[in-house]
Amino acid sequence: MTRKDNWLIWAFLAPTLTLLGVFLYYPMIGTVIESFYDTSFISPEPRFVGWAVYEKVLNSRQFSEIVWNSVIWTLGVVVLQNLLGFFTAVLLNQGLPGQGVIRALVLLPFVLPGVVTAILWRFMYDPQLGLVNSIFIRLGLFEDSAAWLASSDTAMAAVIFVAVWKGFPFSMLIYLAALQNVDKSQMEAATLDGAGALRRLIDVVLPAIRDVILVNFVLTLILTFNYFDIVWVLTRGGPQNATHIFPTKIFETGFGQFRFGEAATYGVFSILVLAVLVAIYVIVQRATANRRPVA
């Protein structure tokens, strides 16, 4: 398109910008405004309170826990999901027997509705009736059953595990596709130079798919941070606040306790924390990318 095609640029953008403006930005700006008012269901007359709700939220005992949990949850899921997705992609790219079928079956968790996934896994984790403990005990790894979701020490790890189980096929798919595009001649050259599988991976494959990793991380970062179903159904943010993250807190405060102003404030904080996470990741990624020699 050239400069004089500007009208086309705007005509093409118009529907999307209108929709996002009206249905995402307008409600979100309303939520931001609401966060400066002390509104709740039981006192419907909005009262302007400036930063008071922000101070209240910042000073509450739970706030730092929720920020911390959100960060752990998001990083845990994103890193593990991408690692597992990557290694699965490498494994399923070796031309092993049965590869085609397994490639397809691996996608199953991705298409299962979130609520069903969580109900299924809540049962899997059940200390008495669940399959997880039953398998561990039969394999002789444990003598007694463990209550994975009921202990503050293990609950976060347990919910992250479920999210990774559900999410890694998506990452795998993207990496699998990226691997198809890695230059075969470079791989062969590296092999001739005597590079082992690991060296080839680090020197040839990773640089070649660096951009894919960036996009994959940012996309899963955003989707995971705002993911609600799994944590809500598995633990409702418990035990205590061990798995309370921003989406569960916003929902519980707004719809569970009728406090809309405070829920709006958590919503604003939630976007800030997420934006910071994305920014940190992009900056770190760019910085390390610049220092890395091109393979």
Partner 1 sequence: MNASKSTRVIQIALQIALAAFVLLPFFWMISVSLKPATEPFAIPARLWPQDPTLENYVTAFRPEFRTYFVNSMIVSGASVVITVVLGLLAAYSFSRAQLLIITVLMGGVVLAQMFPHSAIIIPFYKMMRAADLLNTYASLIIAYVSVTLPVAVWMLRGFLLKLPVSLEEAAAIDGASPLRIFCEIVVPLARPGVIATAVYVLIVTWQEFLFALSFTSTKEMRTLPVGLNDFIGQYGIRYGELMASSVMVSMPVIAVFFFLQRYFVAGLTAGAVKG
Partner 2 sequence: MKTKLLATLTSSAIALASAASAEVTLQFWDNQQTESGLSQFQQAAVDRFMAENPDIKVEVTTIPYPEYQQRLLTAVQGGNAPDIATLDQIWVAAFAEAGAVADLSEAAAGAGLSRDQFFGGAWDSASYNDGLYGIPFNVDVWQFNFYNKDLLDAAGVSPSDLTTFEGLRAASEKLTGDGKFGIGLFGHRGEDTVVVMNSFIFSNGGAVLDDAGACALNAAPAVEAMEYVQDLAQFAPEGILNANSGNMRELFLNGSLAIEFWPALEQPTLQKSDINWGFVNGTAGASGKGVGTFGGWNLAVFESSAQQEAAWKFIEFMVREDVNGDVVDLIPANKAAAAPFLEANRQGADDIMAHLSNANPRPLSARYLEVADIQMTLYQDVFSGANVQEAADAACADIDALN
**Separation between Cα atoms, residue 295 and residue 274, nearest integer Å:** 33
- Contact partner, 151, from partner 1, partner 2, none, Cβ < 5-8 Å per class: partner 2
Q: How many residues in the chain? A: 295
Of the residues 240, 275, 280, 286, which one makes contact with partner 2 according to CB under 8 A: 240
- Contact partner, 238, from partner 2, partner 1, none, Cβ < 5-8 Å per class: partner 2
For CA atoms 262, 263, 264, 268, the dihedral sign is positive
Cα separation of the two ends of the chain:
35
State the minimum distance, in angstroms, from the CB of residue 163 to partner 1.
13
Of the residues 138, 143, 144, 294, which one makes contact with partner 2 according to CB under 8 A: 144
Question: CA angle, 81 as apex, 79 and 82 as ends, to 5°?
Answer: 65
* Whether the Cβ atoms of residue 171 and residue 81 lie closer than 8 Å to each other: yes
Six-digit token string for 126? 């059940």
Stretch in the footprint of partner 2 (CB under 8 A) among 7-15, 78-86, 94-102, 146-154: 146-154
- Contact partner, 41, from partner 1, partner 2, none, Cβ < 5-8 Å per class: partner 2
Stretch in the footprint of partner 2 (CB under 8 A) among 8-16, 77-85, 232-240, 271-279: 232-240
Which residues 151-180 are close enough to bind partner 2 by CB under 8 A?
Answer: 151-152, 155
* Residue of 163, 212, 176 whose CA lies nearest to 85: 176
Six-digit token string for 235? 């633990």
Please say which residue, 109 or 238, places its beta carbon nearer to partner 2. 238
Helical segments of 92-196, H only: 99-105, 108-111, 114-124, 131-138, 155-180, 184-192
Q: Does position 259 bind partner 2 by CB under 8 A?
A: yes
State the minimum distance, in angstroms, from the CB of residue 74 to partner 2.
21
Please say which residue, 76 or 247, places its beta carbon nearer to partner 1. 247
Q: Does position 250 bind partner 2 by CB under 8 A?
A: no
- In sequence order, which residues have a C-beta less than 8 Å from that of residue 38 and are 6 or more positions away? 46, 47, 49, 52, 53, 261
Binding site for partner 2 (CB under 8 A): 41-44, 126-129, 144-147, 149-152, 155, 235-240, 251-252, 255-260
